[in-house]
Structure 1
Amino acid sequence: MTWRSLLLPLALLGAMSACGQRRSDPARVAEDLMRPAPVGSFAAGTPPATTAECTVRTAKDCFDQALTLLAANAQGPERLRALSLMGKACDGQVKDACAWLSQHVKEPRRVRGGPPDDPVFQEAFERWREGRKHHVRVTCRLVQGGVPQRCEVREANLPPDLLAQALNSIQASRYALPTLDGEPFECDWTIVIK
């Protein structure tokens, strides 16, 4: 089995977006915050939409706040704040929030790039992977042009040389921005490689 056939599906199909559709996952409520921002805001130094922390217990309140904003036809940053609240409510097991996200939000997708083709890296990864479980969580800002920036490793158990090459590969890839009802937005984005 080649590197491309092994890691590419693992890395890209295992990617979880903090921007797009979400499945209910209470463990992610506190650690994988959705932080959408208007296109161009990261480059301009404008902070992303912020919301109160949501927990499994308060997820219904987050959903109600999101619905209130949406009912008032919120636009711009307030609409993105509603999206953030909706994502947190979905993480907190509010099924209606997850359903809303699946109808209105399109996840980012990779349009260029992928894992390194270096045969030495491929062979090293194959040897390392045999018989081992691995998990890497990287958070990047996905900005205008689909560029992942300011990537930070949150969790990893790959050897340092493989991790460095995987990070370089992520940062060299390009993505279509996520969209909310067809309008693109930037956000913090979490990639999980399992």
Structure 2
Amino acid sequence: MTWRSLLLPLALLSAASACGQRRSDPARVAEDLMRPAPVGAFAAGTPPATTEDCTVRTAKTCFDQALTLLAANARGPERLRALSLMGKACDGQVKDACSWLSQHVKEPRRVRGGPPDDPVFQEAFQRWREGRKHHVRVTCRLVQGGVPQRCEVREATLPPDLLAQALNSIQASRYVLPTLDGEPFECDWTIVIK
């Protein structure tokens, strides 16, 4: 068993936003959830910004690449590529990268929706919560208008009927897009219900 195979379960168990500010977490480097894209990119079929694979060992290199792009006044997709690299560097425990993210990136904010308000769901969820460890981890594309689309369950410990209600609720929610220096961007985003 290699250290990478040990790292993957940790990466799958971590729960954080893929768009916004993040705490340093080396386990998440392997998964690379930060995939920003220009507003309208997903609707047009444009893929999100891609970057080289970063590991804890190469996180400083990712940080240096991000700074190089930013120093060249990168705009559009290249600026979002720098953001992705900065996120990977932060995940790799480069404190300056985490500091940069906290100063320049605002997380998405839910403006409508949330966990299902249905009393039947709330009661069932509460019973489930009392009896077991519970969470739902879903990755969605957060697109223009703050709409979560193409949601994919990454991990769930809820029974199927509660999971279906939770997914419907997530997809009915609306968000303010995350911003980079005040400019909104779309991205893949992980939503966690605990």
What is the TM-score normalised by the length of structure 1? Answer: 0.91
Cα pair 2:11 2:28 within 8 Å, conserved? no
Cα pair 2:19 2:108 within 8 Å, conserved? yes
Cα pair 2:14 2:28 within 8 Å, conserved? no
For residue 150 of structure 1, report the CA deviation from its aligned partner: 0.2
Partner SS for 2:48: coil
Of 57-66 and 4-13, the range deviating more from structure 2: 4-13
Structural mapping, 1:1-194, within 5 Å: 16-194=16-194
Partner SS for 1:145: coil
Cα pair 1:50 1:81 within 8 Å, conserved? yes
Cα pair 2:15 2:137 within 8 Å, conserved? no
> In structure 2, how many angstroms separate the alpha carbons of the residues matched to 1:11 and 1:111?
28
Cα pair 1:139 1:152 within 8 Å, conserved? yes
Cα pair 2:10 2:27 within 8 Å, conserved? no
Q: Say if 1:114 and 1:7 are closer, same or farther in 2 by CA, change over 3 A.
A: farther
CA offsets, 1:95-114, max 9 Å, x none? Answer: 00000000000000001111
> In structure 2, how many angstroms separate the alpha carbons of the residues matched to 1:90 and 1:179?
18
Partner SS for 1:43: coil
For residue 61 of structure 1, report the CA deviation from its aligned partner: 0.6
For residue 4 of structure 1, report the CA deviation from its aligned partner: 39
Q: Say if 1:90 and 1:103 are closer, same or farther in 2 by CA, change over 3 A.
A: same
For residue 31 of structure 1, report the CA deviation from its aligned partner: 2.0
Q: Say if 1:80 and 1:139 are closer, same or farther in 2 by CA, change over 3 A.
A: same
For residue 15 of structure 1, report the CA deviation from its aligned partner: 7.0
For residue 17 of structure 1, report the CA deviation from its aligned partner: 1.4
CA offsets, 1:93-147, max 9 Å, x none? Answer: 0000000000000000001111212221111111111131112211000000000
For residue 3 of structure 1, report the CA deviation from its aligned partner: 40
Q: Say if 1:80 and 1:92 are closer, same or farther in 2 by CA, change over 3 A.
A: same
For residue 161 of structure 1, report the CA deviation from its aligned partner: 0.7
Q: Say if 1:70 and 1:6 are closer, same or farther in 2 by CA, change over 3 A.
A: closer
For residue 151 of structure 1, report the CA deviation from its aligned partner: 0.3
For residue 193 of structure 1, report the CA deviation from its aligned partner: 2.3
Instruction: State the identity %.
Output: 94
Q: Say if 1:16 and 1:115 are closer, same or farther in 2 by CA, change over 3 A.
A: same
- What root-mean-square deviation, in Å, do the aligned CA atoms of Structure 1 and Structure 2 show? 7.8
Cα pair 1:49 1:77 within 8 Å, conserved? yes
> In structure 1, how many angstroms separate the alpha carbons of the residues matched to 2:166 and 2:4?
13
For residue 2 of structure 1, report the CA deviation from its aligned partner: 45
For residue 77 of structure 1, report the CA deviation from its aligned partner: 0.3
Cα pair 1:3 1:126 within 8 Å, conserved? no
Cα pair 2:139 2:190 within 8 Å, conserved? yes
For residue 21 of structure 1, report the CA deviation from its aligned partner: 0.5
What is the TM-score normalised by the length of structure 2? Answer: 0.91
- Extract structure 1 runs of 4+ deviating beyond 2 A: 1-16
CA offsets, 1:11-56, max 9 Å, x none? Answer: 9999731011110011111124210000000000000100011111
Cα pair 1:8 1:115 within 8 Å, conserved? no
For residue 65 of structure 1, report the CA deviation from its aligned partner: 0.3
Of 2-11 and 79-88, the range deviating more from structure 2: 2-11
Cα pair 1:4 1:115 within 8 Å, conserved? no
